[in-house]
Amino acid sequence: MFSVAINHFQLSLLSRTNNLKKKRQEVGKSSTMVKVWLLALMILYNGFSSTVAGTHNSTRPDIVNIGALFSFNTSVGKIIKIALEAAVNDVNSDPNILGETKLKLSLQEDSKYRGFLSIAEVLQVMARHNVAIIGPHSSVTAHVITHIANELQVPLISFSALDPTLSSLQFPFFIRTCHSDLYQMAAIADLVDYYGWKEVIAVYIDDDNGRNGIGALGDKLAEKRCRISYKAPVRPEATPEEITNVLVQVALAESRVIVVHANTIGGPKVFSVAKNLGMIGTGYVWIATAFLSAILDIESPLPSDKMDEIQGVLTARVHTPDSELKRKFVSKWQNLTHGNTDNGPLGLSFLSLYAYDTIYALAHALDAFLKQGNQITFSNDSKLSTLRGDNLRLDALNIFDGGNTLRRNIYEVNMTGVTGLFKYAPDKNLVNPTYEIINVVGTGSQRIGYWSNHSGLSSIPPETLHSKPGNNFRESKRLSPVIWPGNTAQKPRGWVFPNNGRLLRIGVPIGVSYRQFVSQVPGTDTFQGFCIDVFLSAINLLPYAVPYKFIPYGDGKNNPSNTELVRRITTGEYDGAVGDIAITTTRTKMVDFTQPYIESGLVVVAPVRETETSALAFLAPFTPRMWFVTALFFIIVGTVVWILEHRVNDEFRGPPKKQMVTIFWFSFSTMFFSHRENTVSTFGRCVLLIWLFVVLIITSSYTASLTSILTVQQLSSPIKGIESLVIGKEPIGYTQGSFSKNYLIQEIGIDESRLIALKTPEEAARALEKGPQNGGVAAYIDQRAYIDIFLASRCKFTIVGQEFTRNGWGFGFPRDSPLAIDLSTAILQMVDNGDLQRIHDKWLLSRACLTQGAKLEVQRLKLKSFWGLYVICGSACLVALLIYFIRIIRQYTKHRSEELDSPDQNPSSGSSGFKKFMSFADEKEETVKNRSKRKKMERISYRGSEGGSSSIISNKDYDAQPSRCIADSVPNGGSEQVFVKVV
């Protein structure tokens, strides 16, 4: 619109000018006015031109300059250059990214990681008004030029400078488009922990990248309770002789797990020297950082001599998930590298992939930058303007005004590239850092697993695990088999004893008591005892030789402090400790102990005295409640049996006094199974059978308990255990040098003034015999292993209460010592094959006092132990009585109906119903049955007498012969005559 107006205005201006020229001659006076108008119109034209020019500057620029700083003469630099140029061409040909704006890539040679020259070279790049610089390759160079990037506010974007410290807040304009070495070191630490190694040796190029990377490795190893035992720095431009000197020191060290952190130039030199020294062989573990996988990818296939130098090495490779974009780029790579293979083929490395995605990420950030209406402008740096007079021409460097905005836009990029998801986390690191674990084998390499910060080590690609519900990675946490250096599949132990001729200094505590455990043979440097034999047997089970020397600890006159001996291991005075050393919390904080080879908790020993048996000792087995319930059940069972037998058994009949005596006699005689009365009823026999079973158990238990009381319970002591000592005020003895003193004071809360140190078992025995009233002690506290020896020949004392600690004895070694783990395995083997028990019997088997082990408190038998029996017996009684009473009530009901039907029954006569029922229940059942039959016959006779003559047997005769009667009836005319025949 503005251009049309300007054209129209120009035509109008030219028309007016021509008219003015024609009239110049006619109107001479108006010449001055014409000049004034021409000047005004020129000013107006310039104003419109300025407006149009300003409008044109606010649109997208045609070209945006970006720089790249790499050593393009190296193989790594070549593949990076190819990838960068390919990405720029693809971005410029895609109008959906920057529209009509094109990227212009300016390549600057980096002088192979030389810091000073890199500074000069980056200044040249900065002077070209680039909005961003991609590079450099080296972290060393990045540390220097990031200060320049900060000053000029130009984003410095790198996918190869992986030093973790470059991510600090000190370098806001350094942007990493690949994963930091911090994650690579975490993967290596997980790998070391996976195979059970505890110490590694770090060989690294001694520059910023090497030092900071190994520092990160040390931090990650510490999280796994591992450590770097030796650091071997190598000068960046070291000669083979210098590298040899470094690796010779590595070979003398203990660890055989070596981590190499170098670059693609120095790393191969290290492996070449190691091969010549015979260090790429059996027993060694070599782990290389990602530089080695980059070499394998870029220069594959390597010459056979180079492959021989790295056989069995493990290395990390940046993992990029498979995708359609990646497959297209891989197929395109052959065409891209065609003609660039003068020094051999150029393979596809992660550096190429991330270089390609870096250009795309920068293009998306620039697109967002321009869409926000920002302009690409540069301004002078006021700090550099003061240097105009020097010859360095630093005043030519300008500040990128939109640097902060572009930096923010880069961190906001969220795209999917050939490397997968390209997105920054809140900590300004790319999300999903993932590595492959590579094993160099034969003429190539094989992948044995993956690592990611999300799932750790796994055999499944991390992107697959991320998609699993619940993220359960337990089943996938395993790696494929590895071929280690020396062409062996057996995992190396990872350490050896240092090849420096030094023997391990093993401290042995020498006390003045209990020499069965540890003692020094007089006049020699040899030691003997239970602990020494266990250590020697365990050492012999190890698959390697252990050079050691026993060093006595203690003056032989006092018991030494084992805690102090353990502390001296931490200072390096001793390499280990062997002896009767208890594993306590304090000591485990200082050193590592082996598997305990004997259990030995603290116990209390006190004097005991024989007790005389009481005259009422026979009552002791049962509690009063047990006695009461048992007696009650005797009476209940006797009564139930009497009820069940009274009507059918003549032995349970008679006068009331006699029946009461029968009940009690029958009840209590069942205790001895001597009851004379026989039971004839079914219910009575069932109840009696169950009761006799109860009586059998009760009498057996009573006999056993009483026997125990009368034969075993012969000792007593006022001290019942540690609880009695806590609430008391009496002095307590302990073994000098034992950890028991601190435990009693700090854990139990006993005042220190009550504790008396005792050197020898004899001194402890004398103190116990004296007692607290005569200057002795009330109790003696020591470890169970010692006390068993102490009590073997001292029957006046015994252990009271239970062990109040759960300690064991073990051998101590420095923190994370592999020897502690291997000896633990050997001790467990000794337990399985019986060697440990045989050594125990050799030194510690002795005949103890017969009274030892007896309890001072024998538990009396309580009712709760027998309530089930009583419930069964009581239930049987209730059921029998219930059935019995139902039966007798039915008989009584039948009896009453017959009585009412009797012709001679007087309704007005008779006593109360209850008395009649009790009288009926008291009668013998056979009498009731006979009477019922008699009444029935009487009724038949009565009916016969009404119909004619009848012959009736007198009651007197019937009563005289109540056994049997037979009624016969014969017809007699119209009547029936009944004959009763008594048999």
Q: How far apart are CA 534 and CA 520, in angstroms?
A: 16
Asked if CATH classification 3.40.50.2300 holds for the domain at 181-323+434-467, the reply, yes or no, is yes
Cis peptide before 172 (omega within 30 of 0): no
Q: What pLDDT does residue 47 have?
A: 40
Torsions phi, psi for 34 (to 5 deg): -65, -40
Pair 263, 205: CB distance under 8 Å: yes
Do the strands 576-577 and 504-509 form a parallel or antiparallel pair, or are they unpaired?
A: parallel
CA distances from 675 to 651, 653, 686 (A): 12, 16, 16
Q: How far is 699 from 476, CA to CA, in rounded Å?
A: 64
The H or E element that residue 633 is part of is helix 624-645
Fold of the CATH domain 63-178+324-423: Rossmann fold (3.40.50)
Q: Which structure tokens are listed for 221? A: 């190893």
Q: 357 near 497, Cβ under 8 Å?
A: no
Residue 801 near residue 604, CB atoms below 8 Å: yes
DSSP label of 500: S
What length is written for the chain? 983
Enumerate residues 6+ apart whose C-beta is below 8 A from 94.
none
Domain boundaries, the chain: 63-178+324-423, 181-323+434-467, 504-600+822-843, 605-610+715-806, 617-711
Q: What's the pLDDT at 864?
A: 63
What is the spatial distance between Cα 218 and Cα 223, in angstroms, rounded to a whole number? Answer: 9
Determine how β-strand 808-809 pairs with β-strand 598-599.
antiparallel
Q: Do β-strands 812-813 and 975-982 pair in parallel, antiparallel, or remain unpaired?
A: unpaired
pLDDT value at position 471? 52
Q: What is the pLDDT of residue 68?
A: 92
Identify the CATH number of the domain defined by range 605-610+715-806.
3.40.190.10
Distance CA 762, CA 745 (A): 25
In this chain, the answer to whether the domains covering 63-178+324-423 and 181-323+434-467 adopt an identical fold is yes
Give the C-alpha separation, 253 to 500, whole Å: 8
Give the pLDDT confidence of 631-689 residue by residue, as tens digits: 888 888 878 877 887 777 767 777 777 777 777 777 767 766 656 667 777 787 788 78
Asked if the 504-600+822-843 domain carries CATH number 1.10.3470.10, the reply is no
The percent helix, strand, coil of the chain (3-state, each to 5) is 50, 15, 35
Distance CA 255, CA 200 (A): 6
Name the pTM for this structure: 0.65
Distance CA 535, CA 811 (A): 8
200 vs 192: CA distance, rounded Å: 8
SS (H, E, C) 43-78: HHHHHHHHHHHHHHHCCCCCEEEEEEEECCCCHHHH
Predicted confidence at residue 335, as pLDDT, reads 83
pLDDT at 954: 42
Residue 661 C-beta-side C-alpha neighbours within 13 Å: 7
In the predicted model, residues of the chain with pLDDT beneath 50 are 1-17, 20-58, 389, 470, 713, 850-858, 908-910, 949-983
Distance CA 198, CA 226 (A): 5
pLDDT digits (tens, 9 = 90+) for 495-537: 888 766 678 999 999 988 888 999 999 888 899 999 999 999 9
